[in-house]
Amino acid sequence: MNWPEVVFQYDETFDGFLCCVYESYVHKEFPIAFCGDEECWSLYSVRYVPTDLAHARRVYRSIVRISQSAADLLRRAFLTCLEDKEIHLYAFIRKLYDDGPAFLRNRADETYYPIAKAVRHMNGELEKLRGFIRFSDYDGVLGSEIEPKNRVLPLLRRHFCDRYANESFFIYDRTHRELLVYSGGSSRLLPVDNLTLNPPDEQEVQYRTLWKRFFDTVAIAQRENPRCQNSFLPKRYRGTMTEFLPADYGVTPKADAALPGSAVPAGTPAPGTRPAPVPPAAVSGA
């Protein structure tokens, strides 16, 4: 099959990607690369794909007809941090159309394996984050920040909305600049470019101290085993975990979050004594 090779430009949503698949078959063009909405420089010709929900739905239904589990896998795989994921997913869909779903049984399959591996990596991160997310109480609203590799917020949504159904909470994904807000029984995902949190109040610092003390106390000194700890709790998660941070974290803004000319002095003031420099993001985001 000699389809001309082009670069597809789309809006980086799942529906947009499905439309690329649609356009690829309509124009008989093979996607050599995908790019987002930013300007796209390439020696290949570029096809701009507008997102048309009807087209997306048509492609999605065609996949569901072949295999529901393949469709579920695609949705999940689109959230992973797999490099060139669109190319892998395109090849996957193509193979599904050409050969049917039998190859899904064989995890070692060349087309399927990279996707299965990426999804497994994401599932692992998801499993860890369910436990490792740490909330702080900001005047009754629970808030948390994470730095995941994969786009996990849509998948964490259900678990935390179930768990804290009676609360209001938000989780900010620093990597993908996305905010999950839940309040009064409904949740929303919003793109948010920057988030500055209030400093913790006195009671919050007290509970953090209690937790840190518990964490330090339960370790048995004679069994110390940093290698084991590192493999279960990789260091990249520790930047947002209470037990590895000072009890009053959030009082002095972190270097990257500090705004030029902000009125925060260099020293660490006593916990809970400073008024908020910025209105709480939880309220403005919701």
Q: Indicate which single residue of 57, 215, 254, 268 sits in contact with another protein (rule: CB under 8 A).
A: 215
232 is an interface residue for another protein by CB under 8 A: yes
Residues in contact with another protein, counted by CB under 8 A, come to a total of: 54
Stretch that binds another protein, among 85-93, 174-182, 225-233, 268-276 (CB under 8 A): 225-233
Stretch that binds another protein, among 102-110, 146-154, 186-194, 269-277 (CB under 8 A): 102-110
164 is an interface residue for another protein by CB under 8 A: yes
Stretch that binds another protein, among 28-36, 71-79, 84-92, 215-223 (CB under 8 A): 215-223
Q: What's the closest the beta carbon of residue 12 comes to another protein, in angstroms?
A: 28
Q: What's the closest the beta carbon of residue 167 comes to another protein, in angstroms?
A: 6
HEC secondary structure over the chain: CCCCEEEEECCCCHHHHHHHHHHHHHHCCEEEEEECCCCCCCCCCEEECCCCHHHHHHHHHHHHHHCHHHHHHHHHHCCCCCCCHHHHHHHHHHHHHHHCHHHHHCCCCCCHHHHHHHHHHHHHHHHHHHHHCCCEEECCEEEEEECCCCCCHHHHHHHHHHHCCCCEEEEEECCCCEEEEEECCEEEEEECCCCCCCCCCHHHHHHHHHHHHHHHHHCCHHHCCHHHHHHHCCHHHHHHCHHHCCCCCCCCCCCCCCCCCCCCCCCCCCCCCCCCCCCCHHHHHC
Q: Indicate which single residue of 59, 134, 172, 173 sits in contact with another protein (rule: CB under 8 A).
A: 134
162 is an interface residue for another protein by CB under 8 A: yes
142 is an interface residue for another protein by CB under 8 A: yes
245 is an interface residue for another protein by CB under 8 A: no
Q: Can you give the binding site for another protein, defined by CB under 8 A?
A: 102-103, 105-108, 113, 127-128, 130-137, 142, 144, 158-159, 162-167, 207, 209-211, 213-229, 231-233, 241-243
